[in-house]
Amino acid sequence: MVGVISGPRPESRLFHRLFTEGFALMRERLPVYSVMAAICAGSAALVFGHVHLLEKFATGDVGSVVRTPPVNVVLLSTLFAIFFVLPSALRRIDANFKMTFWRGVITISTILAVGIATDVGYAAAFIPGIVIGVLLSQSLINALLRTGEDAGARDAARTIFGAIGGSFRLTREHFVTTLSILAISLAILGIPFFVGLVAMLVLDVLEPRSLILTAPGLFLTFIYFECVRYMLIVRWYRRLDAAQRPAQAAAPAIPFGVPAAPKRSRRIA
């Protein structure tokens, strides 16, 4: 018999159906995102005729634009939405993953810890900041997958420090490719959001009532591309973890896609 050489499985390819998967991820929490989009529309309706975004932007004070209710509510909503986007993406690795209260605390703490470490690097010089950011880029996902549903306050600090060390071990031998993935993921999110923000400012001048539609539209644009971005990051994490396992065959590995034992922890997302 002649053997058939098969190519890589579709799920192992980083960019295979990435934008389609991003839409599927967004659809899982579409009712929640719709409510948040309605809040963005409401904030725009409340200031209709009283706020002119492009005029504030033209003054050179970008902060004044951010502080306006429509843009401020959009940005706050996008920050809150991470607690829905991230668990949905992580369920592509562990189908039983739940965002519990303490996992939420660990999420915020890990983001702060990595942010502070990266800022210290940037304070020293630009390059060290990039290096630290890349090496610690997998800390959040690592922390959440290492944390059990019944974790408590005592486990939080140990989990975060362990996840930071785990991210370093995952990325140190794949620094350039990890940097490339992060750059692509930021472009996937940042470029459409910037274009949407500029469109919102311009349309506000042409037709002020358009703000009631463009504010929720900007939020939903962010959510979709954030879903795409996290799908890419999760796929890259899975590839990094698979590459490290042969070197740590004797060490316990994080099970991927293995059903976990039932827990009594309450799921919040």
Determine if the pTM surpasses 0.85. Answer: no
Residue 174 lies in a domain: yes
Residue 266 pLDDT: 59
Residue 215 lies in a domain: yes
Residue 269 lies in a domain: no
Residue 238 lies in a domain: yes
- Rounded to the nearest 10°, the torsion over CA 157, 161, 163, 167 is 160
Which domain range does residue 44 map to?
17-242
Backbone angles phi, psi at 260, to 5 degrees: -90, 160
Handedness of CA 27, 31, 35, 38 (dihedral sign): positive
Domain count, the chain: 1
Residue 3 pLDDT exceeds 60:
no
CB 225 within 8 A of CB 83: no
Residue 188 lies in a domain: yes
Residue 251 lies in a domain: no
Residue 236 lies in a domain: yes
Cα distance between residue 115 and residue 43, in whole Å: 30
Residue 162 lies in a domain: yes
User: Tens digit of pLDDT for each residue in 94-128?
Assistant: 988 988 888 888 899 899 989 898 888 888 777 88
User: Tens digit of pLDDT for each residue in 6-54?
Assistant: 444 544 588 999 999 999 999 999 999 999 999 999 988 887 767 777 6
